[in-house]
Chain A
């Protein structure tokens, strides 16, 4: 390797000026090696979704509120069931069956609203491996519902059903909102 002398230094300065002129003339455009729009769109959609949900600051607080209301409902039901005279047992069973149907319907409505909001925002579930967990939660909820029809006084089962419903909503949140990072996209 030769040592740079004055002429090569001058030559280098001219070369640099020429390279700079070319860069400026080309308008500084460089084509990205991959599609960047998908990540941008996903981020915007996520923000829009947060704005659309009932409590824009913390959408999940809304679901927590609904869950808390349901919990109070369970408490009232359990109190009623525990202190009901035997003569009214059939009526009480009928009431608990109605409440069970109402709880499941309410959960289904929450889930439908959640999914509809995600779809409106253009989001799709990311982690397909979580689908098995989702199925297990739903199967368990069906089994607990069946069991509650024959054991309406079982407070633990009611709490377990509530827990299963909440787990399903939390899992859906994970599947939709944990979108891949820019690099994964």
Chain B
């Protein structure tokens, strides 16, 4: 019964047909998929990245990689589920690369990191309260918090995706909550 329902749902999923057409090289179909899902992908990527410029680049990279790998989508799951997995994976890979680059820059001089922080805070004016606070979290803490608390991924899946232990994932969520609650308390008492 469950299998029947699932099969029916995937069959009815309009994205599956578009994904298959796009997988055959139909750019118009791919544009339709982009139009339907880019805001969702951008939301995920921006929260993971913590700043707009990086989110813009990484979102583009997500869709470029998606186009390259559409042929591997076998419609065994909902398109949005598959999209979420690809987006998370590409985003984390890209952000890891960027974090390494930034660490090298920071080693060269702390003035750069101060400048980056200023830029981030200028950009964050357009974001909601939670997203502004999330931006201030350290990268790995932010990734775990976003994937578990907002995206609803299980600790086991978060740990696998990020290549960390399940216990580390739980500890990072605890750390994130502690920091966010502390910042919220300060906002209220200021």
Contact = CB atoms under 8 A, between A and B. Distances in A.
Nearest to B190: A1
Nearest to A45: B27
A20 B184 contact: no
Contacts of B42: 29-32, 36
Nearest to A32: B42
A163 interface: no
Given A1-B189, A9-B185, A23-B150, A28 B60 contact: no
Given A2-B189, A4-B182, A40 B63 contact: yes
B44 interface: yes
A4 B187 CA distance: 10
> How would you classify the secondary structure of chain A's contact residues: helix, strand, loop or mixed?
helix
Contacts of A28: 40, 43-44, 47, 150-151
Contacts of B30: 44
A15 B181 CA distance: 8
B1 interface: no
B130 interface: yes
A19 B188 contact: no
Contacts of B129: 19
Nearest to A34: B56
A30 B190 contact: no
Interface residues of A, number: 34
Contacts of A4: 182, 185-186, 188-189
A49 to B, nearest CB: 13
Contacts of B43: 27-30
The 9 A-B residue pairs whose C-beta atoms are closest, nearest first, are: A4-B185, A30-B43, A19-B130, A12-B184, A12-B181, A29-B39, A28-B43, A2-B189, A12-B185
Interface of A: 1-4, 8-9, 11-13, 15-16, 19-20, 22-24, 27-34, 36-37, 39-41, 43-44, 47, 182-183
7 contacts: A19-B130, A30-B42, A32-B39, A34-B56, A36-B42, A40-B63, A47-B68
Interface of B: 27, 30-31, 34, 38-40, 42-44, 46-47, 52-53, 55-57, 59-60, 63-64, 67-68, 126, 128-131, 149-152, 177, 180-182, 184-186, 188-190
Given A8-B188, A44-B27, A183-B57, 11 more contacts: A1-B190, A9-B181, A12-B184, A13-B177, A15-B184, A23-B131, A24-B150, A27-B43, A41-B27, A43-B60, A183-B56
